[in-house]
Amino acid sequence: MAFDTAPRPVLEPRDAPLPARADLVIIGGGVIGLAVAYNLARRGHSDIVVLEKGYLASGASGRNGGGVRQQWATEINIRLMRESVELCRSFAHDLGINVWFRQGGYLFLARTPGETARLTKNLALQNRCGVPTRMLSPAEAQVIVPELDVTGIHAACFNPSDGILFPWPFLWGYAQGAIKYGARVFTFATVTGLEPDDGGRKGYSVVTSRGTIHARRVLNAAGAWSPELARLIGVELPNRPVRHEICSSEPLKPFLGPMVSLLATGLYVSQSMRGEIVGGVTLPREASTLDMGSSLKFLATYSRQLCRLMPALADLKILRQWAGPYDVTSDGNPILGEPPGRPNFYLACGFVGHGFMMAPVIGKLYAEWLAGGDRHEIFDRCRLDRFDAPGGVEPLAREDFIIG
């Protein structure tokens, strides 16, 4: 297909004043907030203002590996991600921007019988949900990725329909699409205050570094920064930021089809369509922090584990290293919907580092609800008050299939 080469819609100028009012103010210009803005605006509800305190892609949305997978441990996430993958498949056609989406699969490697049993259990659930995951022997895994050293590998799990895309044009595509349909996106607009009108029943005054805007509804899509934002109106959120690091190499001739992940350590590695090797690894005992600095400890740990798994990469040159925040909850599930006592204030946070891949489906479902349509069960099951005990909503199954 031919991609639109006409001038793109532009962000609001740095000196542009905020409008006095809006139906919906979305705080957080990451992929979740922009996906909601796009999906809602294209339904004709375009009185939307998106506020981003930095530049677009300055937060977690611009700091991830671009993976999109359907291999999860809970049915609701598997089904949601099946739809999200389909939305990624049509993204370039629908929004007219190439995000280099390719479905090379995810290959998970287990070193112990316990890890193999975990993969086997998840696979059964994934198959029941229509995901074509299959178990492999170490030798079969090596057929898919010949560069693997399978010494010590007990088994593998592979779904060929998982994929990878390029994060930045993905986020920009949603921003451009939202603006095309009438939403307005303001960068470098830091929210400093939230003032409920009649407890929020009549909306909120959103005080920012660029002026004040009255919103009938507010969506907190600030990710790892969402607790401090919610605290402005007396709402305490249990999610917390945890730093995860990642790096990218010099480009190599393409050889790696799937994303490869080692369960024991959280190591993950893929190859971009430009040839870079992109990967990360879990560092134990990372404290809760919004400090996004890089560390030598990460690079040393990642290098050792990657070279053990793929010895052919021993001479690989690393060109760039960075960090981003995982927005972590205790049960591995996001926080959605309205918190108790704060009507018209909506939450979209706590995605535990995987909001990027869930943004297409969450944006679509949130827009359907906010536009007056059906309210998906995810918004009831992922309410904030599920963390209250006793009572609240029915507890969610813990999602523990987290990598990185």
pLDDT in tens, 318-374: 999 999 999 999 999 999 999 999 999 999 999 998 999 999 999 999 999 999 999
- For residue 159, which phi and psi values (nearest 5 degrees)? -120, 115
State the pLDDT at residue 94: 95
Strands (E), 5-46: 21-27
Q: What angle do CA 207, 209, 214 make, to 5 degrees?
A: 25
Bridge partner residues of 249 (DSSP): 318
Amino acid identity, position 349: C
Domains for the chain: give ranges and CATH numbers.
11-102+164-239+329-404 (3.50.50.60), 103-163+243-323 (3.30.9.10)
Q: Residue 322: beta bridge partners? A: 246
pLDDT of residue 3: 42
Please say whether the beta carbons of 111 and 152 come within 8 A: yes
Contact between residue 258 and residue 109 where contact means Cβ atoms under 8 Å apart: no
d(CA 59, CA 31): 10
Separation of alpha carbons 29 and 12, rounded Å: 13
Q: Which residues contact 124 (CB under 8 A, 6 or more apart)?
A: none
Instruction: Compute the distance between CA of residue 26 and CA of residue 184 in angstroms, rounded to an integer.
Output: 10
| CA–CA dist 322, 302 (Å, integer) | 13
Specify the pairing of strand 276-280 against strand 267-271. antiparallel
DSSP 8-state assignment for residue 249: E
Identify the H or E element spanning 156: strand 155-159
- Kindly state the percentage of the chain with pLDDT values over 90: 88
The amino acid sitting at 363 is: G
Q: What are phi and psi of 194, to 5 degrees?
A: -135, 120
**pLDDT of the residue at 288:** 78
H helices of 24-166, where?
Answer: 31-41, 75-89, 91-95, 113-128, 138-144
**What residue ranges of the chain have pLDDT lower than 70?**
1-9, 286, 389-395
The answer for 353, left when phi > 0, alpha when psi is -120 to 50, beta otherwise, is left
Per-residue model confidence (pLDDT) at position 389:
62
- Which candidate, 169, 178, 363, places its Cα nearest to that of 273? 169
* Residues 48, 42 contacting (CB under 8 angstroms): no
DSSP code, position 54: S
Alpha helices in 310-399 (DSSP H): 355-370, 378-381
Residues whose CB falls within 8 Å of the CB of residue 59, separated by 6 or more in sequence, listed in order: 28, 30, 223, 224, 225, 324, 325
